[in-house]
């Protein structure tokens, strides 16, 4: 009871404000008030109590002055932040002229309520003890309630008033157990009144903290609904926050796939979303869905990366012939020298896996021409010739002439290191193995065409199976 008496007393003599109140009196008097912008489609408004009781009424004019004089004196005291006397004048003005004053065009009742809140807040900030300060703050809240009680949505900018009240609750939440809850309620009400304006206000700050709170309360559906509604009005920073929220809400791959599917329904040409779904299918091991999404991406946006995605899928599945079709197609979609040479080498490896040695060598040579200083194509040709020997001997013991092919294999490994020192380790791993199977020094005496350090042609004379090689090597 004592506290209530203190509040009611303060309503007559003290004051405070929100952070968006008028502070420049001359400017405030001249400019027209910010008008209510386009309202939301829903019939949204501030709820008021039917039995709201005004904290003061029938106040006598200070010193018996006429209202016009009181208003003029009030403006001077308010501008000078003389809160006590300004309160006395404004208490009368609000009581007797809550909306307008006859023959005074500059007078606006809603502005006077704004200023009364400013007065109460100003006095609250001057107090040392929390109890008295809170009493001033309670008095300011009475002014919000009173304004909402007497002004309808056509008479004041309800959006701004709701925002100011929310900011008031937010700023002084330490003094009220439910302060933050009430602030969030007002910020939510802002979104319901005018979502576009709420999203743009404070660079999206109000929408952001409301959605964060809803997320923490586990209200995922509400968060997503508000994101979808407000995203068209959001700036880049808020959109980034929306993305972070979605990542947090849909952290599990299964949930994220289902949500991304709904996004894709609304935006079927969104390649970024399709690619993320593809990666999630891969993570979940959903092979058929992954392949289907890769094909959809390819059909929607046929570029080098999307073609190569399908090529890799076929390669990994051991379907090299189909993979090669996409690899060859990808070459028409890039001018990048690195991509071209890597693709050519990939084609060579695929043909080697298919045991089509001549085609494998052809693409390795193209890769070599694309970058003469790259050692990998030389190593690839060495591998091609090595596997040719295995194929030609069909697992049987190698003859001396079969082993002679490994001289050519070593020639290519030497050339690989010569042009590209970066492949030295890869060459070393192969070199000793191939040296072990090339002809021994004594074998030279058993083949007429061989002389130590002389040249030797690997062709049909080596064996019909080697006719296509048709390259010269050195007898070692």
* pLDDT per position as a tens digit, 309-352: 999 999 999 999 999 999 999 999 999 999 999 999 999 999 99
Tell me: do 456 and 394 sit in the same domain: yes
Structural domain containing residue 384: 373-476
Compute CA distances 450 → 54, 385, 404, 443, 464, whole Å.
118, 20, 10, 9, 19
Query: Using CA atoms, how far apart are residues 83 and 51, in angstroms rounded to an integer?
Result: 30
Tell me: do 113 and 10 sit in the same domain: yes
The tokens describing 419, both together, are 């042009």
Evaluate whether residue 276 is within a structural domain.
no
Evaluate whether residue 319 is within a structural domain.
no
DSSP one-letter string for 246-308: HHHHT-SHHHHHHHHHHHHHH-TT-HHHHHHHHHHHHHHT-HHHHHHHHHHHHHH---HHHHH
Tell me: do 117 and 14 sit in the same domain: yes
Tell me: do 147 and 163 sit in the same domain: no
Q: What is the pLDDT of residue 51?
A: 62
Query: Using CA atoms, how far apart are residues 61 and 59, in angstroms rounded to an integer?
Result: 7
φ, ψ of residue 57 in degrees (nearest 5): -155, 165
pLDDT, average across residues 287-302: 97
**76: Cα separation from own chain's centroid:** 51
CB burial readout 51-72, b (16+ within 10 A) else e: eeeebeeeeeebeeeebeebbe
Evaluate whether residue 44 is within a structural domain.
no
Q: What is the pLDDT of residue 21?
A: 36
- Hey, is 457 helix, strand or coil? strand
Tell me: do 379 and 475 sit in the same domain: yes
Tell me: do 224 and 107 sit in the same domain: no
Q: 153, 185, 201: which is the final residue of a domain?
A: 153
The residues near 97 (Cβ < 8 Å, ≥ 6 apart) are 67, 107, 109, 112
Tell me: do 75 and 218 sit in the same domain: no
Q: 153, 177, 196: which is the final residue of a domain?
A: 153
Tell me: do 184 and 119 sit in the same domain: no
pLDDT in tens, 237-259: 999 999 899 888 988 999 899 98
Tell me: do 7 and 110 sit in the same domain: yes
Tell me: do 110 and 219 sit in the same domain: no
Q: Would you say residue 42 has pLDDT above 90? A: no
Give how many domains the chain has, as a whole number: 3
Evaluate whether residue 443 is within a structural domain.
yes
Beta carbons of 273 and 264 less than 8 angstroms apart: yes
User: CB count, 10 Å around CB of 297?
Assistant: 21
DSSP 61: P
Evaluate whether residue 38 is within a structural domain.
no
Q: 197, 228, 243: which is the final residue of a domain?
A: 243
Query: Using CA atoms, how far apart are residues 465 and 266, in angstroms rounded to an integer?
Result: 60
The residues near 221 (Cβ < 8 Å, ≥ 6 apart) are none
Q: What is the pLDDT of residue 58?
A: 78
Evaluate whether residue 227 is within a structural domain.
yes
The tokens describing 423, both together, are 């492949």
Compute CA distances 15 → 20, 53, 73, 173, whole Å.
16, 19, 17, 18
pTM of this prediction?
A: 0.61
Query: Considering the chain, what is the average pLDDT of its residues?
Result: 89
Evaluate whether residue 65 is within a structural domain.
yes
């Amino acid at each position: 009871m004592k506290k209530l008496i203190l509040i009611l007393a303060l309503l007559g003599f003290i004051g405070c404000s929100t952070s968006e109140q008028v502070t420049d009196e001359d400017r405030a008097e001249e400019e027209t008030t910010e008008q209510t912008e386009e309202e939301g489609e829903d019939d949204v408004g501030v709820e008021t109590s039917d039995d709201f009781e005004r904290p003061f009424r029938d106040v006598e004019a200070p010193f018996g002055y006429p209202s016009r004089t009181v208003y003029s004196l009030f403006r001077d005291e308010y501008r000078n932040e003389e809160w006590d006397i300004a309160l006395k004048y404004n208490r009368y003005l609000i009581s007797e002229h809550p909306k307008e004053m006859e023959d005074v065009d500059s007078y606006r009742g809603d502005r006077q309520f704004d200023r009364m809140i400013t007065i109460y807040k100003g006095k609250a900030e001057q107090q040392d003890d929390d109890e008295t300060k809170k009493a001033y703050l309670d008095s300011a809240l009475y002014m919000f309630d009173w304004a909402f009680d007497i002004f309808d949505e056509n008479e004041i900018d309800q959006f701004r008033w709701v925002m100011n009240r929310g900011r008031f609750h937010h700023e002084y939440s330490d003094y009220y157990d439910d302060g933050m809850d009430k602030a969030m309620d007002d910020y939510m009400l802002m979104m319901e009144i005018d979502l576009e304006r709420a999203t743009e206000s404070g660079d999206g700050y109000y929408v952001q903290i409301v959605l964060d709170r809803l997320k923490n309360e586990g209200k995922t559906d509400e968060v997503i609904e508000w994101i979808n509604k407000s995203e068209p009005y959001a700036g880049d920073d808020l959109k980034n926050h929306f993305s972070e929220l979605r990542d947090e809400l849909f952290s599990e791959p299964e949930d994220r796939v289902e949500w991304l599917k709904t996004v894709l329904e609304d935006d079927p040409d969104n390649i970024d979303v399709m690619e993320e779904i593809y990666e999630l299918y891969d993570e979940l091991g959903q092979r058929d869905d992954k392949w289907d999404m890769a094909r959809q991406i390819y059909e929607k946006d046929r570029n080098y990366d999307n073609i190569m995605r399908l090529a890799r899928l076929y390669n990994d599945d051991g379907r090299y012939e189909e993979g090669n079709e996409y690899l060859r197609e990808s070459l028409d979609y890039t001018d990048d020298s690195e991509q071209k040479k890597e693709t050519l080498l990939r084609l060579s490896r695929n043909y080697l896996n298919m045991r089509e040695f001549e085609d494998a060598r052809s693409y390795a040579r193209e890769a070599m021409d694309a970058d003469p200083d790259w050692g990998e194509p030389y190593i690839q040709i060495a591998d091609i010739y090595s596997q040719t020997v295995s194929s030609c001997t069909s697992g049987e013991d190698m003859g001396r002439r079969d082993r002679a092919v490994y001289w050519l294999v070593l020639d290519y490994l030497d050339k690989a290191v010569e042009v590209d020192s970066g492949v030295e380790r890869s060459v070393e791993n192969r070199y000793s193995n191939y040296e072990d199977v090339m002809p021994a020094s004594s074998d030279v005496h058993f083949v007429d065409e061989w002389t130590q350090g002389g040249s030797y042609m690997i062709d049909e004379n080596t064996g019909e199976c080697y006719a296509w090689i048709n390259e010269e090597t050195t007898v070692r």
